[in-house]
Amino acid sequence: MYYIGIICGLLLLAWTSIHGRNKKKLPPGPIPLPLIRNLHNIFGAPPHKSMERLANKYGPILSLKLGRLPTIVISSSAVAKEAVRKHDSAFSSKTPKDAVEAHNHHKFSIVWLPVDSGRRKSLRTILNSCIVTANKLDANQDLRSTKISQLIAYCHRCSQTGDAVDFGIAASDIAINVLSNTIFSADLVDLCEKSEKKFKDVIRSITFQIGKFNMVDYFPVLKWIDPQGINGSTCAGFAKMFRIFGDFIDERLEQRKKNQKTKDVLDILLNMSEEKDGNIDMDRNQIEHLCLDLFIAGTDSSSATLEWAMLELMKNPHAMKKAKVELAQVVGKKEAIKEADLVRLPYLHCILKETLRIHPPVPLLSRKAEQEFELCGYFVPKGSQVIINIWSIGRDPTIWEDPLVFKPERFWGSNVMDIRGQDDFKLVPFGVGRRMCPAISLAMRTVPIMLGLLLNSFDWIVEGDDYLDVEEKSGLIVGKLRPLRLVPISL
């Protein structure tokens, strides 16, 4: 019996050795529990902070098992650079969240369609030709200037009454109206009317639901139960947006019957619909889904960046003073800022880059491995979720001196880095590779103008006894939890 035990032990050791050598090596990570696996490891704090804590223990590339979803987390610029440079095509798609499957949005969305999808390629071509090319941006410059001047006029009225400006709401309103005028030639919100909250509240509800932790994403068997009601809430939000877009489409179709044509994005899309382009069926349904993508992507991200920038400047008055001096010298105190002036305002750009480093609007970039590949000596399985923690990269003490200190000067002169992160992947607030946000050019024209005008036209004080906290709210876009409310003082 004793010898039988030894023989069985040796056979077991041999079997383990053989199969151990054949098993591909996953990145290190915490031991998963039964059923929930590693979900408990990311509870208790925002996911980007939980994943940074795990990276500090297990390294810049780690593996998690989130329910049924194998996940690889990248937390360093060096690993992100290798992943995108060598394997971008292997993990350039995204795993659709259950929330965006409402109304089959994931089948029509440029955000969620596979990169090699013919529909996505056509949508990206349309987006680039209709909105974000240099020529189109230049053509719409006066439109953006008009909308931003409405923000300054609103702040002047607040300075006369002593009322505070809610930066998140005000910036969101302007971002919505810039987009709505580009697409529909109409305003969707009024800064002065508090009752006009319906549209922006629907957008914020949608982005919150999409970014919310959803059990269905990790346990698909729960899909038909929708235990947290997230899919149902998103479905209702999408339906409200589609009704609004549908009203604009109906009105425009009536105008076109009378030969009353405009030259906005909606007219271009309707022209494509009538021409029946063979590459994509640009029907009413596709137009509505494309508009939904544009408003979700282009509203809260811009307003969150402006709000974080103003917060950091209020906490760092020396940086605000330097920005005001630059503005006074380049464009003149209290003078309007034109987009052509932006190239002569390097410190203003440094402020925005530093803001995006510390407070990226979307802290986690999520992708799906369409095929297995090797990264830094580790195996990345096919079908796994690959997350790049750009929030952690922006605060990495090995690449940033005093990473928690707001220091715009780090980007001055020879240290100025491309906002697209193509050179070193240290600053990638708009994504990387094939999934980079296509609206980056629009954002980097609109937000600097708004910030510059707010600094060049007013001094600012905190409302009442309020304090300047940096607590984040959860959601697809990570903004301030408590609204930043400042009272403007006209110069």
The Cα-based distances of 475 to 45, 307, 459, 481 in angstroms read 13, 16, 31, 10
Nearest to 245 by CA among 202, 300, 197: 202
Beta-bridge partner residues of 367 = 386
Per-residue burial over 388-416, b if 16 or more Cβ lie within 10 Å, else e, is: bbbbbbbbbeebbeeeeebbbebbeeeee
* Domain residue limits, the chain: 28-490
Which tops the pLDDT comparison, 11 or 110?
110
**Helix, strand, or coil here: 36?**
coil
The reported pLDDT for the residue numbered 9 is 40
Taken in order 137, 143, 148, 151, is the CA torsion positive or negative? Answer: negative
Report pLDDT for 416: 53
476 within 8 A of 211, measured Cβ to Cβ: yes
pLDDT tens sequence across 267-305 = 999 988 888 765 667 899 999 999 999 999 888 889 999
Q: Which two tokens stand for residue 476?
A: 């697809």
User: Is 437 within any annotated ligand binding site?
Assistant: yes
Cα distance between residue 308 and residue 484, in whole Å: 9
Task: Please give the C-alpha separations between residue 153 and each of 188, 330, 386, in angstroms, as whole numbers.
Answer: 18, 22, 45
**Least reliable range by pLDDT among 111-115, 144-148, 184-188, 465-469:** 465-469
Residue matched to tokens 């209702």:
236
For residue 424 the two structure tokens come to: 């070193």
DSSP helix/strand/coil, 69:
strand
Angle at 295 between CA 289 and CA 298, to 5 degrees: 130
d(CA 470, CA 304): 12
Supply the pLDDT for residue 298.
Answer: 84
**Cα-to-chain-centroid distance, residue 456:** 28
Distance CA 350, CA 342 (A): 12
Cα 323 to Cα 318: distance, rounded to the nearest angstrom? 9
Query: What Rg do the C-alpha atoms of the chain give, in angstroms?
Result: 25
Do 297 and 361 touch, CB atoms closer than 8 A? no
- Is a pLDDT exceeding 80 seen at residue 414? no
Is residue 167 scored above 80 in pLDDT? Answer: yes
User: DSSP string of 42-97?
Assistant: GTTS-HHHHHHHHHHHH-SEEEEEETTEEEEEE-SHHHHHHHHHHHGGGG-B----
In this structure, of 24-33, 147-156, 176-185, 252-261, the range with the lowest mean pLDDT score is 252-261
Which letter does DSSP use for residue 195 in this model? T
CB 310, CB 463: distance < 8 Å: no
Give the least confident one: 11-15, 137-141, 418-422: 11-15
Query: CA 458: distance to chain centroid?
Result: 29
Question: What CATH number has the domain spanning 28-490?
Answer: 1.10.630.10
Element (H, E) at 392: helix 390-393
* Pick from 300, 240, 285: nearest CA to 478: 300
Q: How does strand 61-66 pair with strand 69-74? A: antiparallel
How far, in Å, CA of 302 to CA of 148, rounded?
A: 13
Query: 421 pLDDT exceeds 50?
Result: yes
> Looking at per-residue confidence, does 125 or 454 come out higher?
454
Residues near 303 by beta carbon (within 8 Å), at least 6 away in sequence: 167, 168, 169, 171, 172, 175, 479
pLDDT at 133 over 90: no
DSSP string covering 101-159, please?
A: GGGGGGGT-TTTS-TT-HHHHHHHHHHIIIIISHHHHHHTHHHHHHHHHHHHHHHHHHH
The pLDDT of residue 191: 76
pLDDT band at 17; cut points 50, 70, 90: very low
- In angstroms, rounded to a whole number, what is the distance separating the alpha carbons of residues 45 and 125? 39
Q: Based on the number of CB atoms within 10 Å of its own CB, is 421 exposed (0-12), middle (13-18) or buried (19 or more)?
A: buried
